[in-house]
Structure 1
């Protein structure tokens, strides 16, 4: 099979997660804000999950397109500029959203930038799935759904407060990011399996962390209700990264 653009690169979605957490302003807001009213929190959570559902639906549409539509596969393989454009767009939009707090809180600009990021990320994921069989992709999707559902329930029910683990998780993200480059330079089945397992575990913990940050309530830290785009983006990146690490197992 022809080589897929960026197939040997470090997971771009993992790098995207790192870019989001490098935003000092967002970290201050996450750790300094809490909900004062239950009604505001419930409305915020509904909005976040609605946005997340739309993001995942768009992403799944791109994945299905590249898994089942052979002309789309061939066209993409013969035109590497598509992957390059999507890659650049994804990171450019993400950097703008991470660095410009007012922009991601201002409607409709925040939705426009989130839509651009989601389309670019969905296109990148579709391109990644070209090198896998349809049953492998669908299996990874199914496993990801089960894991995310289970972790969401766990994060709502557990008495453990994961919101204080932000620093540890970011260090883990740096380690996984560097490990990914090492695996790319010195490939091997054992190292690749360890990398995939570590990545899936890390972003599973991130999903619990980001869910509790969004829920607020009894947890020590919570996110501002104005940051619904930021909250949805974090959950989306967690889910996408879990999927990618399971897919490359």
Structure 2
């Protein structure tokens, strides 16, 4: 667009928004005073607050659904036995979880299109909740309750830490992926070594790694002064990341608390 005098007039619609999977990593050049100029998206406080509010409301609904299904499938001994022995339900939940996770992760159109994104997220949450319940059925209700409480305290503390700390964890994405690959290899090795010590070490390292991931994903969602951030349009992906972090922390804590219910 040209002005009357011939000088170009900037157009806000021409500014490219940051998109996943680059996590909005387009870095603005510094201005003359050494500070990054404000840009469209997370620099707008109202957009950021609305995005964060939407993400946490979706996350709250996911956690309520998971806790409800967990309580329903683990409080009655007959139901627990049926869940443990039902291979068909387990396979359906496992396949459903992988398919919906792949769609939400790889298909940007499905992830951003309403109500398709909510439908796939609901299917993923139900399948994941069932798989969590299958694991929890091996433990006593007291151990499950303790794990839920400890997970809630840990996740709340990590969230507050992520919001208050001046250290930018969004620059640690490559390091966290490397640690995750090492942990997966270590877990594969423990499958062939019958050692309770190695198993305990594995779940402890897993809880620590996903705690870092929770801080990382929280700062990615908050944007602000952090170097990298998720686009405001990626509220489904942000909620999915936080939910998976919390679920993995819960499962690791549950295994650390120990005692199988037999």
Aligning the two structures, in what range does the TM-score lie when normalised by the shorter sequence?
Answer: 0.7 to 0.9
Matches within 5 A, 1:133-152: 133-152=140-159
Residue in 1 that maps onto 2:11: none
Verify the 8 A CA contact 2:42 2:232 in the aligned structure 1.
Answer: yes
Q: Which moved more, 1:27-36 or 1:223-232?
A: 27-36
Residue in 2 that maps onto 1:161: 168
Verify the 8 A CA contact 1:66 1:129 in the aligned structure 2.
Answer: no
Cα offsets for 1:187-209 (capped at 9, x unmatched): 31110111011000000000000
Runs of 4+ in 1 over 4 A off after TM superposition: none
Higher CA-based Rg = 2
Structure 1 residue runs of 5 or longer lacking an equivalent are 1-24
d(CA) in 2 for partners of 1:244 and 1:30? 30
d(CA) in 2 for partners of 1:180 and 1:167? 20
d(CA) in 2 for partners of 1:183 and 1:97? 30
TM-score, normalised by the number of residues in structure 2: 0.83
Residue in 1 that maps onto 2:24: 30
d(CA) in 2 for partners of 1:30 and 1:71? 48
TM-score, normalised by the number of residues in structure 1: 0.87
Residue in 2 that maps onto 1:221: 228
Structure holding more helix per residue:
1
Matches within 5 A, 1:92-241: 92-241=99-248
Is 1:61 matched with 2:55?
no
Deviation at 1:29, TM superposition (A): 3.6
Is 1:44 matched with 2:38?
no
d(CA) in 2 for partners of 1:102 and 1:78? 38
Structure 2 residue runs of 5 or longer lacking an equivalent are 1-18, 28-40, 257-262
Deviation at 1:74, TM superposition (A): 2.5
CA RMSD of aligned residues (A): 1.3
Residue in 1 that maps onto 2:87: 80
d(CA) in 2 for partners of 1:117 and 1:245? 20
Verify the 8 A CA contact 1:32 1:222 in the aligned structure 2.
Answer: no
Structure 1 residue matching 2:22: 3-state secondary structure: helix
